[in-house]
Structure 1
Amino acid sequence: MEALTISPKYQVVIPKAVREALHLRAGQKMQIVAYDDRIGLIPERRMSDMRGFLKGVDADIPREGDRV
């Protein structure tokens, strides 16, 4: 877990170890989600980067009749 400080302008710097682990780059857009007493940052990805991200997901689940 890494710590950060909120600036007087309410800006934060994502620690280098986290940026590198998530392959974040300057100017990249992120979605922010507030839930309970936490904040989540979700990196936006290009559609081309999403290719194959569901590989290996089990699609054999029971479905409603109109969802076939």
Structure 2
Amino acid sequence: METVKLSPKYQIVVPKRIRKDLDLHPGQEIAIMRYRGRIELVPVRPVRQMRGFLRGVEPTIEREPDREL
């Protein structure tokens, strides 16, 4: 795990190793969201680039029983 510091302007720098691993580039959009008390950064990818990224995922999903509202 790597750590970064928040600048006085509330900016962070994504470490080089992570930029390289995720193929991030200057100007690329990144979605930011709060999730269960933490911040998640998710690279926004063009739809064409996402083709086939779920290949091999098990399609059967156990679902919760229907709940009454």
- Normalization by structure 1: what TM-score? 0.79
Alignment CA distance shift 1:53-1:7 (3 Å): same
RMSD value, Cα: 1.9
Secondary structure of 1:31 counterpart = strand
Whichever residue aligns with residue 41 of structure 2, its letter is L
Q: Which has the higher helix share?
A: 1
Q: Note the residue ranges of structure 2 that are not aligned, 5 or more in a row.
A: 63-69
| Number of residue pairs matched by the alignment | 63
Whichever residue aligns with residue 54 of structure 1, its letter is L
**Which residue number in structure 2 is paired with residue 52 of structure 1?**
52
Alignment CA distance shift 1:57-1:13 (3 Å): same
Shift of 1:57: 2.3
Identical counterparts, % of pairs: 48
Which portions of structure 1, spanning 4 or more consecutive aligned residues, are displaced by more than 6 angstroms? none
Is structure 2 residue 28 aligned with structure 1 residue 28? yes
Secondary structure of 1:19 counterpart = helix
Shift of 1:58: 2.8
